[in-house]
Amino acid sequence: MKIIDILEPTAVLDDLLGSTPAKVLSAICGPLAERTGLDRREMVEALLSRERLGSTALGGGVAVPHAKMLGLRGVIAGLGRSRVGIRFKSPDGQPIRVFLALFAPENARGEHLQALAHVSRLFERRNLCHRLLNAKDSAEIYELLAAEDAR
């Protein structure tokens, strides 16, 4: 699996303006809801429900909120960058500045876990978050992710 298999350029937001997890996740879910026809509020609630079980923040300014949804045919992702950072119960206490939200079909067990593992490994790479934060726009963010994933 490659990031470009689940993340479309139109689902990359380079300047999240929300100041709370719910607002940030709502912004990220917007393009995904348009693409899939799913209800944005239901998508946000699914992510927040998962967060209540335990934080999906990886540390280092990155979080990978994820949920399963009825009505999906495959795994999809949306990425948002916050220039100021959002408090998100990160294990290292740092504000989250890069959010990669993953959604999988309700019955997709292996595909969901594979996507989570792949994204987690991708964000373990040195300096990736720093480069994403310094990208000039959403197109450059997408290109950086695609290039890093191709390595």
Q: Please count the other Cβ atoms lying within 10 Å of the Cβ belonging to residue 56.
A: 23
| CA trace torsion 45, 57, 126, 116 (10° rounding) | -50
Geometric angle at alpha carbon 40, from 37 and 41, rounded to 5°: 140
Known catalytic residue at 112: no
Nearest to 68 by CA among 104, 30, 109: 104
d(CA 109, CA 116): 11
CB 105 within 8 A of CB 69: yes
Element (H, E) at 13: strand 7-13
> Distance between CA 122 and CA 107 in Å, rounded?
25
Token couple for 59 = 């540390």
Set 66, 112, 118, 130: catalytic member:
66
Which residues are part of the catalytic machinery?
66
